[in-house]
Structure 1
């Protein structure tokens, strides 16, 4: 129990900081408080200033909220769609072949190209476009894992008995197979969250997601890259934050999954 708490604590702290940023940030995120790219400690800015002289620490504390929220939405949608499609494909081989061939084609699309194609063709772009792009790029990988995990369950006697009893596909998916894949889906959630953070951050770096002057970690990296030699923390701090977010949530998901579930996923 103590080990689980220790592993989930970093993720909870990051979420708490992102939620409480408006109250704990020392300065307004859009107000210049120092000279552009000022070094740490100047004018009450512990991490210095960014390209417009705004407090890097305040923008760092406030920049994770949208990234976390968007990544959670993407992860829930990807995991849910993959769970349904992968399980249905395992129960209906003809449908499974269609799902797998479609997934194979979508997996050939490079992530950056996929993000640009979807977001730039989306009316007004924005958060909805980024979520759509991340879901479209994430489902093919997740559905393959779920289908592999669901296949042995679909071949068990109680599922075959339910099929013989005339149960509908939806009942088989929701009541017979998915309850036996809880640990696999929980680990998958952690893995897909890491991928979602990467995709959402990539969209922010390409400026097809959040737009200036929004405080966003990926956007901070892009905006402050020209002055990395003047104030490295304007780029290094948000980079570390993105890495810590991805690792902490993945660690928490793995800690909450039963030991047998983790072993099963490792074998697959």
Structure 2
């Protein structure tokens, strides 16, 4: 029987990949080591409320006169950790369910119908329902809401990418040869979905950042006096005209994080397959 091998993947130049991945690594490293670099305590006032930048506080003070720079250096790790956990759980669950749905079409139809119904629920409403039903959950409740709301869409993406591969000759040959389902999922389909999964992981990470940020703005999730980029935006919004850095610095940090992660995931994904003549 004639089979078609998986398409060959082209390699991206290493310098180009490094140039896109390096900003993400530097930003994450800065967020993780930020507490060690902070010049002041996160809860001790050093200026007047919304004080302007000076030698004491390089980015001025927040609503309570606390050092904005110190709180910025402390606030990245919790947000990145939450978004990373959301991205890992959503991508892993969607990968398993999506590949299984592609290999078992009968199950896939039910998965698609369930996902379609779940996608209809507005994200903000879902976050509020979970967070309000679990008032003591804090950041964990927001993360759980993001996972529940993110899996249906991610499953559809993975299933759509895996379905054409599941119908190719080399998968049919492996199934006809008696290979087990887990082998087909992990050894035959999963390696050929790397590009889709890396892009999906990047999108889920960025969505996790945005979900936590929106929840903080709605007074859900992280609560004062915790140092968190998203919480800093909500807390200091009333004084944006007095000290723009109190709001602009965390906004800029979140934007740079989202952009850099998307660029890194796109750079790490395999290039487009090179044309190949079927055997």
Normalising TM by the smaller chain, what interval?
over 0.9
Distance 1:236 1:22 in 2: 20
Alignment partner, residue 43 of structure 2: 30
Alignment partner, residue 127 of structure 1: 139
Asked if 2 retains the 8 angstrom alpha-carbon contact of 1:125 and 1:208, the reply is: no
Alignment partner, residue 5 of structure 2: none
Q: What number of residue pairs does the alignment pair up?
A: 260
RCO greater where, 1 or 2, for CA within 8 Å and sep 6 or more?
Answer: 2
- The reply on whether 1:190 has 2:202 as its aligned counterpart is yes
Distance 2:33 2:235 in 1: 24
Q: With structure 1 as the length reference, what TM-score do the two structures score? A: 0.93
Q: Which runs of 5+ in 2 are unaligned?
A: 1-13, 274-279
Distance 2:216 2:24 in 1: 21
2:72 is matched with which residue: 53, 60, 63? 60
Asked if 1 retains the 8 angstrom alpha-carbon contact of 2:194 and 2:270, the reply is: no
Q: Secondary structure at the match of 2:241?
A: coil
Distance 1:38 1:145 in 2: 48
Distance 1:30 1:94 in 2: 57
Alignment partner, residue 230 of structure 1: 242
1:140 is matched with which residue: 124, 130, 152? 152
Q: With structure 2 as the length reference, what TM-score do the two structures score? A: 0.90
- The reply on whether 1:91 has 2:88 as its aligned counterpart is no
Between Structure 1 and Structure 2, whose CA radius of gyration is higher? 2
Higher helix share: 1
Please list, as runs of the form range in 1=range in 2, the aligned pairs for 1:1-268 lying within 5 A after superposition: 1-41=14-54, 44-122=56-134, 124-260=136-272
CA RMSD of aligned residues (A): 1.3
Q: Secondary structure at the match of 2:272?
A: helix
Which whole-Å deviations, capped at 9, do the CAs of 1:124-146 have from their partners, x for residues lacking one? 21232122111111112211111
Q: Secondary structure at the match of 1:259?
A: coil
